[in-house]
Amino acid sequence: MNKPTIEKGISEIVGALTDPIIVFPGGWGDSLPDWLKTSITLERLVMNMRALKGEQPTGTDAEACAYLNTASLTQPMDHDWAQIYLYIAGKTYEGWRTKESGATMPEDIRVDKLNDEQMRDLNRL
């Protein structure tokens, strides 16, 4: 490896650990739970590893969850965005919750699948 490649790799790792979490404007950024902040850091590190293997880097599920969480506290969401938020929140929560907690996403609000338009909106987020 050459020096610029090593420096770029170090910069990417530092960025994953220290870059700010993007939240919806409105003052609710401080309300993110600690487990979600930790998930964002870990998912960013995983995304860096995928990028090293040639994948296109994207925002992570946990980052989308944090943004939509703060958006939902700022203003009402329409049906599609509420479905997207519940889908990504469930996916993130189930992926990062501790199994010992016994807590799961409640069945009455769980969204397991999005339609094509909702998935496009999520991917653009």
Q: What is the pLDDT of residues 60-76, one digit of tens each?
A: 999 999 999 999 999 99
Question: Encoding tokens for residue 36?
Answer: 């979600």
Alpha helices (H) along the chain? 3-18, 34-52, 61-74, 79-96, 116-124
How much is the pTM? 0.87
Please report whether residue 72 resides in a domain. yes
Count the Cβ atoms, other than its own, within 10 Å of residue 113.
Answer: 8
Domain of residue 114 covers 12-124
Residue 5 lies in a domain: no
The reported pLDDT for the residue numbered 12 is 86
- Could you tell me if residue 7 is inside a domain? no
53 in any annotated domain: yes
Residue 34 lies in a domain: yes
Averaged pLDDT, 100-117: 90
Instruction: Indicate the number of domains in the chain.
Output: 1
The residue type found at 18 is: T
Flag whether 2 is in a domain: no
Structural domain includes residue 1:
no
Please name the residue that has the structure tokens 């220290």: 18
Among 53-67, 79-93, 98-112, which stretch is predicted with the lowest mean pLDDT? 98-112
On whether residue 66 sits in a domain, the answer given is yes
Overall size of the chain counted in residues: 125
